[in-house]
Amino acid sequence: MATELQALTQALRDFAQARDWEPFHSPKNLATALSVEAAELLEHFQWLTEAQSRALPEDKRAEIGTEIADVLLYLLQLADKLGIDPVEAAKRKMIANAVKYPAPPPA
């Protein structure tokens, strides 16, 4: 999976470079764009019940998939600009979470 993320990150670099967008892709701007896209993702769930959010029609799932892609793409670009490996950061965070929130002992 890391190789796929690396390839996707390189494709994002190439895409931005071909359009001369790099000057606009500061960490601040990318974090802002990420937040906007996350809000657009959240908008799909606004006013739904828990049950409705678990049983989405296929067309709604497709729209949500597009928003998830936007979030992922901005997140990868932000991580790239900051020199952060998102997979390694996630692994470290999972270890920290396991320490902070240990599983209860078996009953």
Instruction: Answer whether 69's CB lies under 8 Å from 37's CB.
Output: no
Which pLDDT score is estimated for 2?
Answer: 65
Q: How many C-alpha atoms does 86 have within 13 Å on its Cβ side?
A: 18
Helix or strand run (H / E) with residue 8: helix 2-18
Predicted confidence band of residue 1 (pLDDT cuts 50, 70, 90): low
CA-to-CA distance for 83 and 44, rounded, in angstroms? 32
Tens of pLDDT, residue by residue over 7-52, are: 999 999 999 999 999 999 999 999 999 999 999 999 999 999 999 9
Residue 85 φ/ψ region, left for φ over 0, alpha for ψ in the -120 to 50 degree band, beta for the rest = beta
For 2-19+27-85, the fitting CATH number among 3.40.50.720, 3.10.129.10, 3.40.50.2300, 1.10.287.1080 is 1.10.287.1080
Tell me the CA end-to-end span of the chain in Å, nearest whole number. 35
Tens of pLDDT, residue by residue over 53-96, are: 999 999 999 999 999 999 999 999 999 999 999 999 999 999 99
| pTM across the whole model | 0.91
Which candidate, 39, 24, 29, places its Cα nearest to that of 71?
39
Q: How many C-alpha atoms does 55 have within 13 Å on its Cβ side?
A: 4
Which pLDDT score is estimated for 107?
Answer: 85
